[in-house]
Structure formats: C-alpha cells, structure tokens
Amino acid sequence: MHPIPKLVIQRLALGLLLLFAASVMIFVGTMILPGDVAQAILGQNATPEALANMRASLGLDQPATTRYFSWLFSALQGDLGTALSNGRDIASSIAGRLQNTLFLAAVAACISVPLAIFLGLLAVRYRDRWPDKLISAITLTSISLPEFLLGYVIMYLFSVQWGLFPSVSNINDGMSFLQKLNAVALPAMVLTLVVLAHMMRMTRAAILNVMQSAYIETAELKGLRRFTLIARHAMPNAIAPIVNVVMINLAYLVVGVVVIEVVFVYPGMGQYLVDHVAKRDVPVVQACGLIFATIYIGLNLLADLISILSNPRLRHPK
C-alpha cells in the first residue's frame, strides 16, 4: 500500500482517539474533589437534603461511566444539555456565539497569516540587520504581555485616545459585513499581535532552516538568481513547515479568543465560557471545553496531515 493513505488513516484514527481521550479528561476534570457539582452550586452551607435533591435532579446518583457515556452520546448528536444557571438549551445558546467567535478568529487569521509570512521573509532577507532586529524586539515585547493587557493597551490607544474604533465590540445579525468588520477591528488587531510574534519567529526559523541546506548552495553555484533560487528551490521545501507553523498558531489563536472576548465584551464562546466558569455551571463549561478542544486538536491534526502530504519521501516512495 502507498504509505500516504496509510499514514493519513493512522493519523485520523489517532486524532479521533485523542479527541475521545480529551472528552474523558474534560469530564473527569469536573469531578476532581472536593465536593461535586451540587455542592458547587449550592455552596458550603447547603443542607444534606437539598444536596441529595440536587444530585438526583442532576443525575449524579448514577455511576460516573454511565453519566459520561450519556453525556458523550448526546453531545455527538448535538444535544449539549441545559445550563444549570438559567435552564436554557446549551446548544442553541452556543450556535450563534460559536459563529461570532469563528468570525473574529477568521478575521484575525486573514490579517496575521499573510503578515507573519511577509515579516518572516523580511527578517530572513535582512537577517541580523536592523529590520530583523526590530521585528525581533517588537515580537519579544508582545509575547511578554498577557493577551488581555495587550487588549487594554490597544483599546486605550485606538479607541479612547484616538477614537478610531469602538471600544466595545457589539455584533449582531442586523449588521452589514463592513459594520461587523469595524466592530471586531480592535479584538482582531490584538489577536493578530498575539499570534504574529510566534508565527513570524517560527516562519523565520523554517525558512532559515531550508536556506541553510546544502541544496541551496548547489543552486547558488549553478548561477541562479536569488529570486529564482528562493522560488524554485527554497519554497517547495519551506511551504510544508510554514503551513505547519500557521496551523499550530491558528490553534493557539482560537484559545486566545477566550480572553480577548472578555476584554472587548464580544458575544462569543469565550465570554460565554468564562461567565459560566464563575457561575460554576458545569454542563456549559464541559460543552465549551469540548468544542475548544475539538477545534484545537483538529487544527493540530491538520498541521500533521499537511506535513505528511508534502513530504517528497512519502509522496514518491522507493
């Protein structure tokens, strides 16, 4: 059998297994003692009867494995249960928010990916000279700051001081695409800065790695122009690592969204999750955790698959 389909199937199976294990961990993570969900909801002063009633109504008297599988199978069918805090259906609450979150992440990705690759190329082109050092210094600073603080700095400058964009990112279905873009301008900018540093540095490293290969010297000694050399010899080998870098950073971006949404009061999944953590609304936290983990694992899996598909040794076996 050709090694590629075999490897791809293996990786997909592994990804599914990982996802399954992750769901177990998210479920188990909410059962770490002391206390249980009922205790968490009712507080330390609840009477034993109230606790028992609560447990029964939550199904906590069932064994953990039974609860896990019924949770998992309903989740697979799109039924994420109801929120403890307000009794609403979680799936329908999440749907619109997930869309908003993905919209924000997509806008940030559309800006950050091309920018990071461009800056990475620039840093390689002017390696160890001032553009490279400047880019390094800026990226070092931006990874030294937590996302939420970067958010407030940006908000303070662009919204409060210069009045360019709204400080609160309200978004609703009635808005046009441009209005929506305007609304997410600041959070998208922050997210871009957050992932830009890593993505740029990793891109730089990936290209440098390729440029230092012996076959680049071979091409140079054939008298090729710098541009031809990069386009014909460096790029085909650098694309896979760069795509890999992009995927890993997109996964990171999806997590960064959580905090940024809180800063800009953006009606997405992240804010929904954080709100319900404070309310100790376990079913919502589990559902959101599962969705974030799925996206994260999925993007990492994609990165893996791309590097398999682009490996010439695997594409053209002996």
Partner 1 sequence: MADTLLEIKNLRIEATVYAPGEKPRDVVIVDDVSLTLERGKVMGLIGESGAGKSTIGLSALSFGRGGIRLSGGNILLNGREIRAASAATLRGLRGKEVTYVAQSAAAAFNPAKRLMEQVTEATLHHGLMSKDEAEKRAVDLFRTLSLPDPENFGKRYPHQVSGGQLQRAMTAMALCPKPDLVIFDEPTTALDVTTQIDVLAAIKTAIAETGVAALYITHDLAVVAQVSDEIMVLRHGKMVEHGTVQQIIEAPREEYTQALISVRSIDHQQKQPTPEPLLRVEGVSARYGAMAKDVLSDVSVELHPGQTLALVGESGSGKSTMARVITGLLPPRKGTITFDGKPLPPALKQRSRDELRELQMIYQMADVAMNPRQTVATIIGRPLEFYFNLRGRKRDERVQELLDAIELGKGFADRYPAELSGGQKQRVCIARALAAKPKLIICDEVTSALDPLVADGILKLLLDLQAREGVAYLFITHDIATVRAIADSIAVMYRGKVQRYGPKDQVLTAPFDAYTDLLLSSVPEMELGWLEKVLAHRRMSSAGN
Partner 2 sequence: MKGIPISALLGLFITGLFFLAALLAPWIAPYGLGQIVGDIWEPSSSQFWLGTDNLGRDLLTRMIYGGQTTIFVASMATAVSFTLGSVLGFTAAVYGGVTDQIMSRVNDLVMSIPTLIFALVVLSVMPVTIPVLILVMGLLDSTRVFRLSRAVAVDINVMDFVEAARLRGEGQRWVIFREILPNALSPLVAELGLRFIFAILFISTLSFLGIGIQPPETDWGGIVKENREGIVYGIPAALIPAVAIVTLSISVNLVADWALNRTTSLKGGRGG
Interacting residues toward partner 1 by CB under 8 A: 213-215, 217-225, 228, 233, 236-237, 312-313, 316, 318
For partner 2, the binding residue among 144, 170, 209, 228 (CB under 8 A) is 144
Give the residue from 49, 57, 55 showing the smallest Cα distance to 37. Answer: 55
Least CB distance from residue 243 to partner 1, whole Å?
A: 14
Contact 257, 270 (CB under 8 A): yes
3 state DSSP class of 72: helix
Selected binder of partner 2 within 274, 305, 308, 309 (CB under 8 A):
274
Q: Which of partner 2, partner 1, none interacts with 214 (beta carbon under 5 to 8 A by kind)?
A: partner 1
Report H helices in the chain.
3-29, 37-42, 48-58, 64-76, 90-125, 130-143, 147-154, 177-183, 185-211, 214-220, 226-228, 235-263, 269-278, 282-309, 312-315
Interface with partner 2 by CB under 8 A: which range of 25-33, 46-54, 192-200, 234-242?
25-33
Which positions from 40 through 79 interact with partner 2, judged by CB under 8 A? 40
Q: Give the whole-angstrom CA distance, residue 137 versus residue 19.
A: 37
Minimum CB distance to partner 1 smaller for 45 or for 212 = 212
Please identify which residue in 3, 36, 79, 216 interacts with partner 2, judged by CB under 8 A. Answer: 36
Q: Is 82 left (phi over 0), alpha (psi -120 to 50) or beta?
A: beta
For partner 2, the binding residues (CB under 8 A) are 18, 21-22, 25-26, 29-32, 34-37, 40, 140-141, 144-150, 152-153, 155-156, 159-161, 167, 251-252, 254-255, 258-259, 262-263, 273-274, 276-278, 280-282, 285-286, 288-289, 292-293, 296-297, 300
